[in-house]
Chains A and B, each alone.
Chain A
Amino acid sequence: MTDRAKRYEAIRDAVRPQWDDARAARNRAGVDRLRRRHLLTRGGGALVVAALLALVAYHSLGPAAPGEPDDPTVRFSDGSVAVPDAPGSLIVEASSPELILVNLQEGRSRFKVTPDPKRRFVVRAGAARVTVLGTSFSVEHRSGGQVQVQVSEGRVRVDAPGGTWTLNSGEGGEFPGQPRADASPHRATTPEGPDERVATHQEPPEGDDATPRAPTETPQPPPENPLAETSAPPERPKARAESSDPPPTPERRGRGPAKPQAAAGAPPAHEPPEGIDKPAVGWGQLAEERRFKEAAQLLTTIEPVEIQGASALIRAAEVMRFAGQPGRALAYLEAVERRYPQDAQAPLALFWRGRILLRGQPCRAAEVFARLQRQGGAAALQEDALAREVTALARCGRLEQARQRARIYERRYPQGHHRGAMRRYTDPPDDTAEEP
Chain B
Amino acid sequence: MSHPPPRASGLGLVSVDAHAPQDDVRVDFDALYERFAPYVASIGLRLLGRPDEVDDLIQEVFFTAHRKMHQLKERDAVKSWLATIAVRQAHRRLRARRMWSFVGLDTWDAFHTIPDPGASPQTRAEVIALFRALETLPPALRIAWTLKHLEGERLDAIALLCDCSTRTIKRRIRQAQELLEEVWHD
Contact = CB atoms under 8 A, between A and B. Distances in A.
Interface of A: 4, 7-21, 23-24, 26-28, 30-31, 33-35, 38
B3 A20 contact: yes
A34 B59 CA distance: 8
Contacts of A17: 5, 38, 41-42, 44-45, 51, 54
A7 B127 CA distance: 10
Given A7-B186, A8-B149, A24 B37 contact: yes
B8 A12 contact: yes
B60 A12 contact: no
Contacts of B66: 31, 35
Given A17-B45, A18-B2, A28-B33, A11 B126 contact: yes
Given A19-B2, A28-B33, A35 B63 contact: yes
Contacts of A21: 1
Q: Is the interface of A mostly helix, strand, loop or mixed?
A: helix
Give the 6 A-B residue pairs with the shortest CB-CB distance, closest first: A14-B119, A30-B59, A34-B63, A17-B41, A14-B115, A31-B62
A31 to B, nearest CB: 5
A34 B58 contact: no
Given A12-B150, A17-B44, 9 more contacts: A11-B127, A15-B115, A17-B54, A21-B1, A23-B41, A23-B55, A24-B33, A30-B58, A31-B62
- B54, B59, B62: most-surrounded residue (chain A CB, <10 A): B59
A165 B55 CA distance: 79
Contacts of A23: 41, 55
Contacts of B54: 17
A15 B150 contact: yes
5 contacts: A11-B150, A14-B115, A14-B119, A15-B45, A23-B41
B88 interface: no
Interface in B143-164: 149-152
A260 to B, nearest CB: 86
A27 B59 contact: yes
Contacts of B56: 30
A23 B56 CA distance: 12
Nearest to B45: A17
A32 to B, nearest CB: 9
Interface string B133-149: 00000000000000001
